[in-house]
Amino acid sequence: MYTVHNQTGRRFVITGSNSGTGKEAAKRIAGAGGAVVMAVRTPEKGESARAEILRSYPNADIEVRKVDLSDLASVHTFASDLLAEGTPIDVLVNNAGVMAPPKRFTTTDGFELQFGTNFLGPFALTNLLLPRILESSAPRVATMSSIAANFGKIHFDDLQWTSGYVPMLAYGQSKLADMLLGMRLAELSKQRGWKLLSTIAHPGFTRTNLQTAGANLGRSNPKAEHNRPIIPSQDVEQGTEPLLFAAADPGAQQGAYYGPSRLGGIVGPTKRASLARSSRGTDLPASLWAVAEKLTKTAPPA
């Protein structure tokens, strides 16, 4: 199992850390001495996860805070509260997400749920926290994408899927957008002379509640877990390792993408992965970033 390097003296904000890869990342980073802010939509679930982590690491520096990435007002409140306290933030881990609701839902702000929660919420949070993150001696933003980005396409003519909604295609767009977020942030860091390291990861096919939580939104009869596709998969301990590498490893590279190394990136130890072919348009990261700035009314520091 991958061992997280000593993180003593570094403070992490990890979204979606009450379950799945987010909780595992919070646990192992806290176990390596890092201070962790568990940024979660449901504080009660966050406190339960925190208690579980403290049973393994009683001296862990870990706290729970509420943020709903599907609500930009909540994102602003969360960020404002953190910034007002004046405490350092060294690393932001954009991990939270929702996957393939069976029908089109919208966020509080009227965005398609997956595009809003998986991309626009983290985009706004990143911009709002960047001034504090950039004060770190080794600032970093790690963003979770997905192998679904491989079939993703940015539908600039209908980003919100107001017509022809297809759950997995909308998910693919949102995770490609996350990849482009990480790529563009790396470009901005180079252009503006920041010390910021922007990295990207994907978990392959990792068994978490992500596959069922989104798929059961709005269903009166939830789909059972045994209805999942029978393909190779891995447990959350292994599946979180690309994110941990992206977020905390001293060997992680600017703009690099990390994922499992076996069976086409589905399972296995972490390696540097190839960016999705659909992400390689010369102006695509900058174009999407510009649109996201307008939609969220947020921008990075000049």
Please identify every residue annotated as catalytic.
Answer: 171
d(CA 67, CA 21): 17
d(CA 179, CA 118): 11
Which phi and psi (to 5°) does residue 259 adopt? -160, 180
d(CA 66, CA 68): 7
d(CA 97, CA 170): 13
Q: Which of 173, 181, 187, 215 is nearest to 201 (CA)?
A: 181
Specify burial of residue 91 (Cβ count, 10 A radius: 0-12, 13-18, 19+): buried
- Tokens matching residue 96: 């939270």
CB atoms inside a 10 Å sphere around CB 106: 15
Specify burial of residue 202 (Cβ count, 10 A radius: 0-12, 13-18, 19+): buried
Buried b (16+ CB within 10 A) or exposed e, 224-261: eeeeeeeeebbebebbbbbbbbbbbbeebeebbbbbbb
CA pseudo-torsion sign 110, 291, 94, 90: negative
